[in-house]
Amino acid sequence: MARQKLGQHFLVSEKALDRIAAAACGSGVPLVVEIGPGKGALTAKLLPLAGKLVALEIDPGLVAYQRARFGDQPNFEIHQQDAVQAEFSAWPGAVIVGNLPYYVATPIIERVVRAGVPRAVFLIQREVAERITALPGSRAYGFLSTLLQFMAETRLLFRVAPGCFHPPPKVDSAVIELRPRERPVAVPDTEDFIRFLALSFHLKRKTLRNNLSERFPKTLLDQLPATSRRAEQMTLEELAQLYRTLVNDTPDKLQVAP
Ligand code: SAM
């Protein structure tokens, strides 16, 4: 892939770099995985705070650059790898951090969260950060909010202006933090609940009754007052409650395949 397509906007603000490193590592952590280290501006801040740092970079030229810059540091390791395909469970207990390439930020975040890592700190496009951390009833709240909030506590930490990068991106950026949920949302089938969430938000302006009628019998949906609302007005717990009711009351044979 051509370099300009790899989302190579390098962070140059010392203040932003220090804040991200502190948010990820505090005063020190045993293991850090950095996604997209680029030329190593953030790597240099993370290395003194990490017992060990594993960097994943897709661009072979930047992997060579990193090896030349940090190869003599005993706690540094780099892999030429596509982070979208990475198995994060290979680094148990690691904090995951990165100034992510925006074109693949969402699949990388989903993969990291699914691996159940103890903490992740990412610099991403501000609009995506707002969607990930949005609350019901807000304009940004949608499927991505519920998908990630189902699996993680999400928090927007601070914003980063385009002038903090070289070259500056066309959009604003923000740093988010993800941690495993303290109180898991109880559903009988995790993957099926995720499909249910996707269907609930399928047409954002339609009611749940409308969106869910593709899968559940209309007679059942009509009996449940919550289905006259739109998914964007419902909390995750309310959506889970509705899901539990619908799957309990709908024997498999009555469900239309999604
Ligand atoms: N961390 C550096 C900084 O802040 O200066 C660079 C961040 S830049 C926004 C994104 C980096 O991710 C680039 O180095 C790019 O080559 C790398 N990258 C792009 N796609 C990737 C992928 N799928 N897997 C791993 N790294 C990727």
Phi, psi dihedral angles at 159 (to 5 degrees): -95, 155
- Closest-CA residue, ligand 1 atom 23, reads 82
Atom of ligand 1 nearest to the CA of 59: 16
Q: Is the CB of 41 under 6 A from ligand 1?
A: yes
Question: pLDDT band at 253, cuts 50/70/90?
Answer: very low
Strand duo 29-35 + 173-180: pairing = unpaired
Q: Does residue 36 have its Cβ closer than 6 Å to ligand 1?
A: yes
Residue 164 pLDDT class (50, 70, 90 cuts):
very high
Decide: 125 in ligand 1 pocket, CB within 6 A: no
Where does 190-253 sit in CATH, by number?
A: 1.10.8.100
The answer, yes or no, to whether any atom of ligand 1 lies below 6 A from the CB of 42, is yes
Distance CA 1, CA 101 (A): 13
Q: What tens digit of pLDDT does each residue of 2-56 get? A: 555 788 999 999 999 999 999 999 999 999 999 999 999 999 999 999 999 999 9
Per DSSP, helices labelled H in the chain are 14-25, 41-46, 60-70, 105-114, 126-133, 143-151, 190-200, 208-212, 218-223, 236-249
Whether the Cβ atoms of residue 255 and residue 221 lie closer than 8 Å to each other: no
Quick check: 258 pLDDT over 60? no
Residue 55 confidence (pLDDT): 98
Q: Torsion angle of alpha carbons 251, 253, 257, 258, nearest 10°?
A: -10
Strand segments, DSSP code E, in 81-196 are: 95-99, 119-125, 152-160, 165-166, 173-180
Q: Mean pLDDT of all residues in the chain?
A: 94
Is the minimum distance from the CB of 8 to ligand 1 under 6 angstroms?
Answer: yes
Mutation to probe ligand 1, out of 6, 84, 106 (largest number of atoms < 8 A from CB):
6
pTM for the model stands at 0.93
pLDDT digits over 54-89, tens only?
A: 999 999 999 999 999 999 999 999 999 999 999 999
**What CATH architecture is 4-180?**
3-Layer(aba) Sandwich (3.40)
Cβ-in-10-Å burial (0-12, 13-18, 19+) of 162 comes to: middle
What DSSP letter does each residue of 202-239 carry, written as one string?
SSTTS-HHHHHTTTS-HHHHHH-GGGGS-GGGS-HHHH
Predicted confidence at residue 6, as pLDDT, reads: 86
pLDDT at 254: 44
What is the whole-number distance in angstroms between the Cα of residue 106 and the centre of ligand 1? 14
Distance in angstroms between the alpha carbons of the first and the last residue of the chain:
35
What atom of ligand 1 comes closest to residue 37's alpha carbon? 1
CA 174 to chain centre: 13
Q: Check if 80 has its Cβ closer than 6 Å to any atom of ligand 1.
A: no
Q: Please state the domain extents for the chain.
A: 4-180, 190-253
Closest Cα to atom 5, ligand 1: which residue? 10
Burial of residue 197, with CB atoms counted within 10 A of its CB: 0-12 exposed, 13-18 middle, 19 or more buried: buried
Task: Give the pLDDT score at 4.
Answer: 57
